[in-house]
A and B are shown apart, each in its own frame.
Chain A
Amino acid sequence: MRLLPFRRRTSKFQRSGISAVDLADEASAGLFARPGRMVLTVSGTVIGIAALVATLGLARTTGNRILGRFDELAATEIFITTQTAADGTTQEWLPWDAPERMQRLNGVVAAGSLTSVDTNGALISTSPISDPTSQTEFELPVQAASPGLFKAVRANLATGRFLDGGNSVRADRMAVLGSGAAIRLGITSVAQMPALRIGDDVYLIVGILDTVARQQDLMGAVIIPEGTARADYGVTSPELVVVETQIGAAALIAQQTPLALRPDNVAALKVASPPEPKRVKDAVVNDLNTLFLLLGGVSLLVGAIGIANVTLVSVIERTSEIGLRRAIGATRTHIAAQFLLESTAMGFIGGIVGASLGSIVVVVVAAVQGWTPVLDPMTPLLAPIGGAVIGLVSGTYPAMRATRMEPVMALRSGG
């Protein structure tokens, strides 16, 4: 009399089964029993996946490279003017506090307004004495600037100082000279507090510009405070607002500008923002890419056949193992699952290695060419899945062969 040590279900025996961990263990043991062979088997899939990933990546990379040199200055400037009517006259206006309003937008580094002043033909001179041997009176453009303009055009001083907010509020008769204008007027220093006359009005020269990055015509102009221009010449509206933005912010700020400055009439303004950097968009589909994709596909096919072939050989070699597994409780399904898992794992490993190699190729080529490597994140993620599918499909026939093996015959073979 002995009690049976297993659970009985309606007088039947407990079914056989294998846990996922055990199945994975058996499959990996089967794979790594012959590591050299596995490497060779997987290499076809590796080459195929690598070729596909590299081709797709290089197509994206060349397609995204920026044509020409990236112009930081041009990419960060916005010029705002009013719309002109068809006959060239301006009906619209910019608010005087446009620079302050722009400054409040996130991403604006500096903003300033600029207006050319109509002096009614008044000439500019630095000396009240008429010297008949040389020209003492000049016809120079006069520009009215808000205090923020100097930063917005990236002006550098040769000497003196810029005009500040106080000068504008008090409508001080002060001027900053562009370097060209200073040369024509014969001014080299502001140490002796030189002055100039516009018509009959005397302006104290407080500074001389050395360079400006934008609005080069300022170099030949006399620049006076905006408040002064409004008081003395009756200027009614700023002509131009110059804005410097942070890199990458220009397009967004240009979009926000009309609403910030003219919420009453967004169509009143003309906003000139830098164009998007030009990219090569047409290079994605060309003959070379098609060729490489074709090659990648062919090597994947060869890789799949390789996996199928080696798995089939392995099934025949492992006939006695299959018989033993059947004897110790494996069903046909368990045998098929193990061989399918082995071939799928080979494809998966091939996909991972191939995607890594392909990505490295893209990075190296981009580095050599000085491009930015661009790779669709889905490509390296999908590659192992693709490899696994190839392995699964390749393993189907060998796995079917393995299940058809009769354990009786399988056990009789030596081993």
Chain B
Amino acid sequence: MRDGSSAPVVSLSNVSRVYPTDPPVRALIDVDLSIESGDWLAIEGPSGSGKSTLLNVMGCLDRQTEGTYRFEGVDVADLNDRERAGLRSRRIGFIFQSFHLLRHRSVLENVMMAEVYRHQSRRGRSERAMAALDRVELTHRADFLPTRLSGGEQQRVAIARALLGSPGLLLSDEPTGNLDSTTSGRILDLLDGLHDEGLTIVMITHDSEVAKRARRRVHIRDGRLEEAS
């Protein structure tokens, strides 16, 4: 058995995802990808290239139809649904293009939600959430409703939620897609800073300007992955 601490965070080998439509859609074809701890990887590709499918497979929201996916050395095919959900909850932070904050709950409550499915004591939860908000410099907005925040601030709240509980991997899906260029820059600066602190980050984007900020870039086209030189 491999020791999880020395294994890559993500290790995909010959991963394919075929949607059983008629005719079948091959969204991922023989993808090999290894992401070490501390990587900052951008996955670039036009829409329809299979990058969302790749992100969903890596985030354990979807299962590959072929190949092996190991997360921190563990073959996720061996995990049952509750274990995969536990993996998502504890080891992966998600950031989405449309933020996905709950409109009727305060910024602090939105961040605290990250712990809800960890069957964890509520003691200290709001302090931990405040600490996460502090990392994105939004403690002064803790009691606001998300609807009163700017797009950039909302994305920072989502990042704080993803950071709660120190995940091993931050998966971001077009994190700047809904933001103007200035705000995008700030969000990318924030991700840069998190990477400097040792966080492993995977970002998918169609925007090569955004992808430039990553330390490592791969392209995906028609379901096939190619490493950029």
- Chain A residues engaging chain B, CB cutoff 8 angstroms: 1-6, 8, 11-19, 21-22, 26, 29, 33-34, 320-321, 323-332, 334, 407-408, 411-412, 414-415
From residue 17 to 69 of chain B, which have CB atoms closer than 8 A to chain A? Answer: 37, 52, 56, 59, 61-62
Say which residue of A13, A321, A329 sits within 8 Å of B117 (CB atoms). A329
- Measured between beta carbons, the chain A residues less than 8 angstroms from B94 are 324, 327-328
For B158, the closest partner residue in chain A by CB is A324
Say which residue of A4, A15, A323 sits within 8 Å of B72 (CB atoms). A4
For B164, the closest partner residue in chain A by CB is A328
Known contacts being A13-B79, A21-B122, A408-B56, is A328 close to B88, with CB within 8 Å? yes
Contact B100 A15 (CB under 8 A): no
The 8 closest A-B pairs by CB, nearest first: A329-B89, A329-B117, A17-B119, A16-B85, A33-B104, A16-B86, A15-B82, A13-B87
- Measured between beta carbons, the chain A residues less than 8 angstroms from B98 are 320, 414-415
Give CA–CA (A407, B53) in the complex, Å: 12
Say which residue of B85, B105, B168 sits within 8 Å of A329 (CB atoms). B85
Which of A6, A15, A320 has most chain B Cβ within 10 Å?
A15
Contact B100 A330 (CB under 8 A): no
- Extra contacts, 12 of them, besides A321-B100, A408-B61 (Cβ < 8 A), are A1-B5, A6-B91, A13-B86, A15-B82, A29-B104, A29-B105, A33-B104, A324-B102, A329-B88, A329-B116, A408-B62, A411-B96
Give CA–CA (A3, B7) in the complex, Å: 11
Say which residue of A18, A321, A414 sits within 8 Å of B102 (CB atoms). A321
For A4, the closest partner residue in chain B by CB is B4
- Measured between beta carbons, the chain A residues less than 8 angstroms from B188 are none
Contact B100 A411 (CB under 8 A): yes
Give CA–CA (A34, B104) in the complex, Å: 9
- Measured between beta carbons, the chain A residues less than 8 angstroms from B119 are 16-19
Say which residue of B52, B56, B116 sits within 8 Å of A26 (CB atoms). B116
Contact B61 A415 (CB under 8 A): no
B148 at interface by CB-CB < 8 Å: no
B180 at interface by CB-CB < 8 Å: no
Query: Closest Cβ of chain A: how far from B196's Cβ, in Å?
Result: 16
- Measured between beta carbons, the chain A residues less than 8 angstroms from B90 are 6, 13-14, 329
- Measured between beta carbons, the chain B residues less than 8 angstroms from A415 are 98, 100
- Measured between beta carbons, the chain B residues less than 8 angstroms from A1 are 5-6
Which of B98, B100, B122 has most chain A Cβ within 10 Å?
B100
